[in-house]
Amino acid sequence: MRATIDGSATASESWGTVTVTGRCCGAGSCRNYAPDLLVELDPDGCQELAPDGHEPGAFTGVRRQPRSAAEYQQARTAAAACGFGAIKLGKPAQKLPSELRGSPWKHFPRELEPGVWMLGQPSTRNYGATAFFLEREGGGVLVDLPKPSKSLFAWLREHGGVSRIFLTHADHAQHHAEFVAAFPGAKRMLGRRDVNKYAHAYADATTEVELLLDSDGGPLDFDGHPLPVERMSETELVLLPQPGHTPGGFCLLYRGRYLFTGDHLAYSHRLGHPVGARLQCWQDWEVLTSSVDQLAHWAHAGHLRFAWLLPGHGEEARLCEEPDADAVAAQLDAGVAWMREQPPGRVSLLRWVPFVLARTAPESFVGRVVNAFGEPAWVLPKAVRRYLTTSTALAPR
């Protein structure tokens, strides 16, 4: 039986299966590419989930399996986006329509609204982080970095080129030299306290970044100069210090409508409000909570209003049709209240990297050592083990 014109399936058709494996490390970006299929797992297991949709320990589950060719294509894109290779696909019984075959990124870059693009094809070196492009006269702005390619460079040139490369924090700075080589004269921007002096296996050196931003004060303009709080809503590009996930983290407010948050803040559809990631907090949870609380204060004062919350890792959300300071303040208040209920502290990368390797590369030396002592959770601080999922709590219902 054939698919309908819109790609929907009949009852007798199978459009493949999706399984989130135990390699999942909680980045959450995959859920933006297939929001009807993938869902944040509730550690308490209070969800209706598809049978066999996830393996023990996964942070993302399967709400339901694909029902159309288009949904299977979305699942392909989500799998390609995962920086840890954690999504396994079973092929559909039917042949995909010709317009849906080929690269899972053939429909990217995707324009969210005029001039604001989600680039797609994230880089594993940036842990699958979502990158964005702001198309502007005189050269656009890259917000974090995707996987570099000749086709992407050509697309960026067709859309005005790149004049600035804004790096939200140290974790998403890989490939910066390749993009500058492709766009000579593009100025890189990064928090001063997030500069990496030496390249290593997990990060590039960033000492050549042209514009270093100080994260100890209030908002900055796009040249890194202090900006009066009262001018935030009328300024096209505003840099907002958000230490906590990393010491030099920044968010970018664009046209008072889009807030690009890197890994500092994402939306939890399960909880219904924005949250910081306690499990992946490298610097200090209380500092991060205070940073988000500062956003809430600016919103209460009427200076911060945005419609879109666009993270590098975690789920994005359109909070309202038009920027609304009161609506933003209420959302941020809810997020801060939740964050204050979580235990203080941080997760050192000396603990996080072995945890990830034990899941994604169990055959490696580090993976073998960690797994020799039991489930990889033992290597993490006790305070954050509550955010891990278990096979018992998350059994499909």
Q: Express each pLDDT in 173-188 by its tens digit.
A: 999 999 999 999 999 9
Q: 49 and 77 share a domain?
A: yes
Residue 13: its pLDDT value, please?
64
Query: What's the structural domain count of the chain?
Result: 3
Q: What is the average per-residue pLDDT within 163-180?
A: 97
Which tokens go with 181? 């080589």
Binning pLDDT at 50, 70 and 90, where does residue 10 land? very low
Task: Provide the CB-side half-sphere exposure for 394 (13 A, CA).
Answer: 25
Give the containing element (helix H, strand E) for 268: strand 266-268
Q: 151 and 168 share a domain?
A: yes
| In the predicted structure, residue 79 carries a pLDDT above the cut 50 | yes
Quote the pTM value: 0.94
Q: 174 and 192 share a domain?
A: yes
User: How far is the C-alpha of 327 from the C-alpha of 185, rounded, in Å?
Assistant: 39
User: How far is the C-alpha of 305 from the C-alpha of 125, rounded, in Å?
Assistant: 32
Tell me if 164 is assigned to some domain: yes
Give the containing element (helix H, strand E) for 188: strand 187-191
Amino acid at 124: T
Domain interval for residue 187 = 108-213
Q: 117 and 193 share a domain?
A: yes
Q: Give the orientation angle of helix 325-340 with respect to helix 285-300, to 10 degrees.
A: 160
Q: Which of 32-41, 42-51, 259-268, 386-395 has the lowest mean pLDDT?
A: 386-395
Q: 144 and 209 share a domain?
A: yes
Q: 120 and 203 share a domain?
A: yes
Which tokens go with 297? 């204060």
CATH code where residue 195 lies: 3.60.15.10
Tell me if 65 is assigned to some domain: yes
Helix (H, G, I), strand (E, B) or coil at 256: coil
Residue 15: its pLDDT value, please?
94
Residue 215: its pLDDT value, please?
82
CATH code where residue 46 lies: 3.30.70.20
Q: What is the pLDDT of residues 28-56, one digit of tens each?
A: 999 999 999 999 998 877 788 999 899 99
Tell me if 286 is assigned to some domain: no
| In the predicted structure, residue 397 carries a pLDDT above the cut 80 | no
